[in-house]
Amino acid sequence: MQEGGSDSTVDAVVDVIAETAPEIRQGLVGRRGTVDEENPSGDEQVEADVWADGLLEDRLSSIDGVGQYASEERPDIVDCGEGVAVAVDPLDGSSNLKSNNAMGTIFGVYDAELPARGEDLVAAGYVLYGPVTTMLVARDGAVHEYELSGDERGVIERDVTVPDDAVVYGFGGRVPDWPDDFAAYVDEVEDELKLRYGGAMIADVNQVVTYGGIFAYPALESAPNGKLRLQFEGIPIGYVVETAGGASSDGSQSLLSVEPTELHQRVPVHVGSEEYIDRLESALE
């Protein structure tokens, strides 16, 4: 794509998400109940999932230079003209709404038609609805962190990097459902790091990016491709962590090298400090 075109379009996508995030946070109030619907991955939908998806689709699909919008919450891609494709997880960790724990919004901007690969990303990032609403944006080889409040966006870190010294770990799924080789890897890691697992990938990944360590939602005996979605979770988060100097893996290769075959496919996700990803891939060989 012509450089100027994608740059100004990426700016517009990031600006729209940054401006919409405080509205999403405010709109969670009163939308915490489940609706009687499932999303394309078979997840039970929370009212806020559907509402946030509608808001983001409305705002992002009307940006000049955005040609496709897709989300975890809707079966099909929305064609909206010529240009980049934006794939979002409108609310990541929405099951945390009931218990009022942290959650996030994930986005990826692909310079290709969806389903698209990590190599097609021109930017990716996430919003974290924690005590403070923050946003991480990975583009042009760097990760910036912002604090969002209303229409203000203050830069608080221009070069986020995953610390080499690892401190925390968090692994999804149930222990009896972990394959033996992953369980053996966990036995090593739990003697070295502190457990931090909150049930929203974005909040758990943000701890790994901040303190160093590893997050995984691995392949399970009951679900060989794990739980997380490649297009909306695995690739964007893999891009953020790798741009921040960490590593990602589906168990044998970078998440950015996984070839998408269908929009809502799942993938085992492991992201964090390079040492722990290397050791993981050796353990799963």
Closest approach of Cβ 200 to Mn ion, in Å?
8
Query: How many whole angstroms separate alpha carbon 67 and alpha carbon 190?
Result: 45
Instruction: Name the maximum alpha-carbon separation found in the chain.
Output: 52
Which one, 7 or 43, has the nearer CB to Mn ion?
A: 43
Name the segment binding ligand AHG (CB under 6 A); options: 85-93, 110-118, 124-132, 256-264: 85-93
Instruction: State yes or no: residue 177 binds ligand AHG (CB under 6 A).
Output: no
For the bound state, the minimum distance from the C-beta of residue 255 to ligand AHG, rounded and expressed in Å, comes to 14
Helix axes 235-243, 201-211, angle to 10 degrees: 10
Strands 168-171 and 213-217: parallel
One-letter identity of residue 119? E
Shortest separation between residue 173's beta carbon and ligand AHG, angstroms: 6
The single residue among 69, 182, 217, 239 that binds ligand AHG, judged by CB under 6 A, is 217
Beta strands 78-79 and 66-71: pairing type? Answer: antiparallel
Q: Which residues contact residue 30 at a Cβ distance below 8 angstroms, ignoring those fewer than 6 apart?
A: none
Query: Residue 199: which of ligand AHG, Mn ion, none does it interact with, CB under 5 to 8 A by kind?
Result: ligand AHG
201 binds ligand AHG (CB under 6 A): yes
- Say how many residues touch ligand AHG, by CB under 6 A: 13
| Cα Rg, the chain, nearest whole Å | 18
Q: Which does 53 bind (CB under 5 to 8 A by kind): ligand AHG, Mn ion, none?
A: none
Quote the least distance from Cβ 251 to ligand AHG, whole Å: 16
- Nearest distance from residue 55's CB to Mn ion, in Å? 14
In degrees to the nearest 10, what's the CA dihedral of 178, 182, 188, 190?
Answer: -40
How far is it, in rounded angstroms, from Cα 53 to Cα 227?
Answer: 20
Nearer Cβ to Mn ion, position 73 or 145?
73
Which of 229, 212, 203 has the alpha carbon at shortest distance from 75? 229
Joined tokens for residue 241? 């962590």
**Is residue 130 a contact point for ligand AHG (CB under 6 A)?**
no
The residue from 11, 43, 157, 275 that contacts Mn ion (CB under 5 A) is: 43
CA atoms within 13 A on the CB side of 115: 19
Taking the least distance from each CB to Mn ion, the nearer of 203 and 219 is 203
Is 121 marked as a binding-site residue?
no
| Closest residue by Cα to residue 83 from 53, 109, 56, 119 | 109
The residue nearest ligand AHG at its CB is 201
Q: Under rule CB under 6 A, which residues in 50-79 are in contact with ligand AHG?
A: 72
Q: Are 214 and 167 in contact (CB under 8 A)?
A: no
230 labeled part of a ligand binding site? no
Which partner in ligand AHG, Mn ion, none is near 250 (CB below 5 to 8 A by kind)?
none
Q: Which is nearer to ligand AHG, 9 or 69 (CB)?
A: 69
Q: Is 199 in the site for ligand AHG (CB under 6 A)?
A: yes
43 near ligand AHG, judged by CB under 6 A = yes
Contacts of 224 (CB under 8 A, 6+ apart): none
